Amino acid sequence: MNLLVINGPNLNLLGLREPDIYGKQTFSDLIDMINEVCKSEGISVTTYQSNHEGAIVDTIQEAYGKYDGIVINPGAYTHYSIAILDALKAVSIPTIEVHLSDIHSREEFRNVSITGNAALKIIYGLGFEGYKRAIIEMKEYLEGKNING
């Protein structure tokens, strides 16, 4: 199983960025955790981070035919990027969306996920644990098990 994990804008600043909301662990801690989980689950993983919408669209397009699943935290693009939504729909690779914070208990503009319209499910408010769950649930989904939307 080949998995692509995409992180969008400002997630590279984890640790520094609003630690009361996103925690004190760094982006490099997150990548280490993703690599560890994937290693122990026997998943081949590629991680990608960009602050640029078009670069994320390019990466999703290039994923076609290469990856079985995508785990994505589109950051702020979640709330307004029809381009990322369309790219995910175009390649039709099973996708789970993750957010570190509880997007439903913050500002109203974070309540809506545009990109989530292309996702099997959206996991939010669990911090790093949300990525772990997304990876394991993607594996289960690709193995033909049901996941709860």
Q: Give dist(CA 72, CA 6) in Å, integer.
A: 5
Nearest to 117 by CA among 87, 149, 85: 85
Share in percent of the chain as helix, strand, coil (round to 5): 50, 15, 35
| Choice between 22 and 67, CB closer to ligand DQA | 22
Q: Taking CB under 6 A as the rule, does residue 103 contact ligand DQA? A: yes
Residue 16 backbone class (left: φ over 0; alpha: ψ -120 to 50; beta: rest): alpha
Q: Taking CB under 6 A as the rule, does residue 121 contact ligand DQA? A: no
Q: Taking CB under 6 A as the rule, does residue 76 contact ligand DQA? A: yes
Q: Give dist(CA 117, CA 113) in Å, integer.
A: 7
Q: Taking CB under 6 A as the rule, does residue 114 contact ligand DQA? A: no
- Annotated active-site residue 67? The verdict is no
x-or-dash pattern for ligand DQA, window 28-67, by CB under 6 A? ----------------------------------------
Question: Among 4, 69, 99, 137, which residue sits at the site for ligand DQA (rule: CB under 6 A)?
Answer: 99
Contact 113, 79 (CB under 8 A): yes
The footprint of ligand DQA (CB under 6 A) covers 10, 73, 75-76, 78, 99-101, 103, 110
Active-site residue set:
22, 99
